[in-house]
Amino acid sequence: MIDPAATYRDQAARLIGEAIVSNHAYDNLEYLCDRIGNRLSGSTALEEAVQWAADLMKREGLSNVRLEEVPVPVWVRGAESARIVTPVSLDLNLLGLGMSVGTPPGGIEAEVVVVRSFDELDTLGEDGVSGKIVLYDVPYEGYGATVTYRMDGPSRAGALGAVAALVRSIGPISYDTPHTGTLRYSDDAPKIPAAAITIENSALIGRLVDNGEKVTIHLEMEARTLDDAISANVIGEIPGSEKPGEIVLRGAHLDSWDVGQGAQDDGVGCVIALEAARLIGTLGLSPRRTIRVVFFTNEENGTRGGKKYLEEHGWELSQHVAAIESDSGNGPAEGFHLDLRAREGRDDGEAENERAEALATMRSIGSLLELTGSSTMKKGWSGVDIGPIVAAGVVGLGLAHDTSAYFNVHHTRADTFEKIDRGDLAKNVAAMAVMAYVLADMPERLAPPATNR
Ligand SMILES: [Zn+2]
């Protein structure tokens, strides 16, 4: 096994230097945000973005640029409003949850019950919940820990007879910014309308109820799901010089929610992946293996792009040396997460050995990224879009951003371009470029191959 830190010092320095002086990623993201805007599955904006991305990949020097069609769900928000009717009169600031059903015409008016956990909901049971609107006024304890109230809260309330569900927005702070995001209806519960309200509104309702008031809310939502539409994953490559059939995939998702500009989620991930590939191409570094850039579609409300990629490329799964995703904003990357699962025919002990060896190699590569602050390598989550191929045994890497500011704007109207820090973006591009280049050029693979399917 070679020592990447010793072998690739010059190439890494060139990639980092070029990333810092290039404007491409920043300018490309500005165009995507300001000229195309947000890009929900089924929207004309997303298909405009797909065409733009394919043209852009060609302009930036990628080869084999192509679209792979993906049928995607079409959820339409429509008009939506909510107000407290009693004991005060107040318009609420809401965003319906993705994939929610609407209310009947004229809306729903009902008393609110406030819960701060699923245990509280279950204790209230059908007697306490039936016919009411459930508000999950749950304090934020990190995205992964709290998002279950948005995902599963509507069905759990519906199963007990609630007529609608409201969720305190999933985020650490709020300046009156509701956060949308998808919900997950279960098959065995009635589908009830569901929306996120701001932390401010949620806390107010919580205080009123805690003070013994009966709070009544009027909720109207036109949300509905139409027939599937055709979207596409956009793919382009820097072909490998010796082993073109072997692939280092770099992915992000081109779709976004229908508010804001989808700048951090995940326009920035797309431009990072593309720019990291362009730099390798323009510097003439010719890695042994192919670098494949994939802009996935429909991450936000279906993961259909990621699932379709597995369907289309299952035959060459073993040829994927690694898949790297960037989908947690533009905070400066601290390093990479390694997401290497136990695979067919190997037990947990073998998987643990593979992880230890892969991490050792990644740490050597990481030593080339000390200057950009991105040298920390640890086990962790990689990404939703590459999730299906990672679950099938491909080695997943996630660009591990500092997310301390990301969840303030995630899925809100405030996810806009002016919050993109140019210096952080350059560092993120550099980290992605160096990691992908070395993995694509090293004589050995990072870990044994997945099994084709
Ligand atoms: Zn995302």
pLDDT at 345 (0 to 100): 73
Per DSSP, the three-state class of 54 is: helix
pLDDT average, residue stretch 264-291: 97
CA-based torsion, 164, 170, 176, 177: positive or negative: negative
53 alpha carbon to ligand 1 midpoint, in Å?
17
The Å distance, Cα 365 to ligand 1 centre, comes to 26
Where in 22-176 does DSSP place strands (E)? 63-76, 80-86, 90-92, 94-96, 108-115, 133-136, 164-168
Q: Give the whole-angstrom CA distance, residue 408 versus residue 42.
A: 26
pLDDT over threshold 90, residue 2:
no
Listed in sequence order, the residues at least 6 apart from 13 whose beta carbon sits closer than 8 Å to its beta carbon are: none
Structure confidence at residue 43 as a pLDDT band (50, 70, 90): very high
Taking the centre of ligand 1 as the mean of its atom positions, its distance from the CA of residue 328, in whole angstroms, is 6
CA of 181 to the centre of ligand 1 (A): 10
For residue 37, the cross-strand partners are none
Active-site residue, selected from the candidate residues 80, 299, 300, 354: 299
Please name the helix (run of DSSP H) or strand (run of DSSP E) that holds residue 452, with its range, or none: none
Can you give the residue ranges of every domain in the chain?
4-75+227-441, 78-222
| pLDDT for 346 | 74
Question: How many angstroms is it from 383 CA to the middle of ligand 1?
Answer: 9
The alpha-helical segments, DSSP class H, found in 22-133 are: 24-31, 44-59, 118-129
Which pLDDT score is estimated for 1?
73
State the DSSP code for 450.
P
pTM for the whole structure? 0.96
Number of H-type helices and E-type strands within the chain:
15, 16
Confidence tier at 347 by pLDDT (50, 70, 90): confident
Give yes or no: 299 in active site.
Answer: yes
Per the structure block, which two tokens stand in for 7?
A: 């072998």
> What is the architecture, at CATH level 2, of domain 78-222?
3-Layer(bba) Sandwich (3.50)
CATH 3.40.630.10 fits domain 4-75+227-441: yes
Spacing, Cα 257 to ligand 1 middle (Å): 9
Residue 156 has pLDDT above 90, yes or no: yes
